[in-house]
Structures are given as C-alpha cells and as structure tokens.
C-alpha cells in the first residue's frame, strides 16, 4: 500500500467500517457536502448518502444527544466535534447519559465521539485544548489518543466496534505530518483499547506519553542516547483504561519516570499516573517522578507564546538531563 497520513488512516478506518456494517453512520457539522472541517469524510456522502452522512446545525448538544439515542437503538454513530473544545456544549449528555446508561439499566451506548484536539496549529484558546482529563474522571467512558497512522486506523476500528461510548482524541497537529506517513495493512486489523506500547527500548529512565508528545519525546530520548543514557518511551495509546501492567513493567526496569503530556499540568492525567506508580512501585523509584506539560493558562493565539506554553523537544530534553543527574 502507498504510505498514508494520520488523517487518511482515520478516514480509511471509518470508510471500511461503514462498508461492513450498515448500522455505522456519521453525524456532525459540515461533514457531508463539505467533507468535514478537516476533510476526514470527503467523498463519503457520494458513497453512503445523506441518511448515513448527516449534516447537523451548529448544536453540539444535539449531535451528542442524537448519537446517544441512536446508539441505544442499535445503531453505531460516529459523531464529530469540529474542535474538541466545543464538546462542553454537550457535556451533560456525555457524562450523565452516555457514560452511565449501561451501569444504571444495562443500556449499551456504542458510539464514537471524534474530538480534533490540541495546539501547535495557532488556533487560539477556543480551538486548541486538550480536554482528556475532563472525561478521564468519568467511569463508563473509554478514551483513546493515537500518535501514529497505524494506531489511528486500529483504534478507530476498535472504537466503532466497542459497545461503550469511546472518545477518540485525534490531534490536529498530527493530521498531515510527513514524518507520520506510513504503510498500514490493507487487511482488517484493530489496536486493542487499553493496551499501550513500548516504542523505544531503554533502561535508565522511561517517558510515559501519548498523542502529540510522542514525537518530541522520541527525539529527546535520541539526544540523551548520544551521551550514553538510554531512555525508554511508552506510548499509552489508550488513556481510559490505561495499561497499568505495561507501566509497572517499565518502571521496575528503568527506575526513573517522566510523564509528558500537552494538556495543562494541574489536574492532568499525569498526576493520576504518577499516583498509580507511587502506590504500586514506589520501592523501584530512584528519583521523584517528573512531569513535563503545558503551563496552567488557556492556549495562547500568538505563535511565540504558544511555543512558550507547550512542551517542546528542548524542554523534554532539559528535564531528562535533570532526571538523569538526580
């Protein structure tokens, strides 16, 4: 197969599942004739028609509410927020209805909510947020955050087939990155929700990360390797549930831990992962757990301020050096 981008992998997975299962449909703003804000569903309406590629008013609460109802009736909706930030308009339906229906009365809600997230594209404070920690605290939801084209396809396929509401965090900065173009299997495959992956082996420290921070973490690890310090990089891939066994295995091997995420620090999921490690592997730690995150402000619009706000390869490298010297 020719190499595909991260965003093409999402589109391929979605199209494949729609061809296989007539219960799968897409719903969102401008997804039909226009093909979506980022063109994930370009050409879909010509193949599947307006009954399965449904344009909606600018009303996120209606999109999420309609998806929940359809899922309860046996359909498998894939709903799109044009930007993840706007999910707040449908927050109540998501955390109170979708997340709790199976627990309360056994009603399955097999829906996927696509959430284009993240900064690095100069979108400003209303189009750049990483909001995973809002939902990380909500039992009944599943959260995934792919960092590669392979995982983007595999996790989308798994999400559509799952009988629970899955929030699919797709990072806008990764959409068309040339370094992420890759050959992905033409045949059907999935990436299991809840399973992370070691993408760089190491022994002296481990970076636990996901989504947009995988690339700069890998580059920082390569920089440290030139000094003879081998850093492992663990891509979570799934945030809820996250791969506790893999984390503990890596921590026990490497003994020093850094958690890197683009979301702001206070209340970010890095704090929960840090607490999990402290509670379950404290005796293996040779240094305090380090966190590299965005600072606690809204995302700036100014490109220089946005760069100052976000984690970068340089910031991760400097933090790794400090960790190594501890």
- Positions marked catalytic: 127
On the CB side of 231, CA atoms within 13 Å amount to 28
Burial class of residue 149, CB neighbours in 10 A (0-12, 13-18, 19+) = buried
Structure tokens at 194: 């809840």
Please tell me the distance from the alpha carbon of residue 135 to that of residue 96, in angstroms, as a whole number. 11
Distance CA 231, CA 323 (A): 11
Coil, strand or helix at 108: coil
Query: Please, how many CA atoms are within 13 Å of residue 277, restricted to the half-sphere of its CB?
Result: 32
* E strand or H helix that includes residue 53: strand 53-55
Is residue 32 within 8 Å of residue 41, measured between CB atoms? yes
Q: Tell whether the torsion through CA atoms of 170, 171, 172 and 176 is positive or negative.
A: negative
CA pair distance 286, 85, nearest whole angstrom: 38
Beta-carbon neighbour count of residue 183 at 10 Å?
11
- Tokens linked to 238: 């799934």
Reading the block at residue 78, the tokens are 């894939």
Residues 6+ apart with CB under 8 A from 209: 217, 233, 234, 235, 236, 259, 260, 261
- CA distance linking residue 268 with residue 270, whole number of Å: 5
E strand or H helix at 161, and its extent? helix 149-161
Identify the CA nearest to 238 among candidates 174, 175, 192.
192
Are 41 and 53 a contacting pair, CB within 8 Å?
yes
């Amino acid at each position: 197969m020719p190499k595909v981008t991260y965003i093409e992998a999402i589109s391929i997975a979605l199209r494949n599942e729609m061809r296989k299962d007539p219960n799968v449909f897409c719903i969102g703003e401008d997804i039909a004739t226009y093909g979506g804000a980022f063109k994930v569903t370009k050409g879909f309406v010509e193949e599947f028609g307006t009954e399965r590629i449904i344009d909606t008013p600018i009303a996120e609460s209606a999109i999420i509410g309609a998806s929940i109802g359809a899922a309860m009736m046996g359909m498998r909706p894939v709903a799109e927020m044009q930007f993840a930030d706007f999910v707040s308009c449908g927050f109540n339906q998501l955390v109170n209805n979708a997340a709790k229906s199976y627990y309360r009365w056994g009603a399955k809600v097999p829906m996927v909510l696509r959430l284009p997230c993240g900064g690095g594209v100069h979108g400003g404070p209303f189009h750049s947020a990483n909001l995973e920690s809002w939902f990380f605290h909500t039992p009944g939801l599943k959260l995934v955050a792919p960092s590669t084209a392979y995982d983007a396809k595999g996790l989308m396929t798994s999400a559509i087939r799952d009988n629970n509401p899955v929030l699919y965090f797709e990072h806008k900065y990764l959409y068309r990155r040339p370094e992420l173009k890759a050959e992905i299997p033409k045949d059907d495959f999935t990436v299991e929700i809840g399973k992370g992956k070691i993408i760089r082996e190491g022994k002296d420290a481990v970076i636990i990360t996901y989504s947009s921070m995988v690339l700069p973490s890998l580059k920082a690890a390569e920089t440290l390797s030139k000094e003879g310090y081998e850093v492992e990089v663990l891509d979570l891939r799934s945030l809820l549930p996250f791969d506790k066994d893999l984390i503990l295995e890596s921590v026990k091997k490497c003994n020093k831990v850094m958690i890197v995420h683009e979301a702001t620090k206070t209340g970010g999921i890095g704090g929960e992962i840090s607490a999990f490690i402290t509670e379950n592997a404290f005796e293996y730690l040779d240094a305090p757990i380090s966190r590299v995150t965005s600072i606690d402000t809204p995302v700036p619009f100014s490109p220089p301020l946005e760069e100052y706000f976000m984690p970068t390869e340089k910031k991760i490298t400097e933090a790794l050096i400090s960790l190594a010297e501890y």
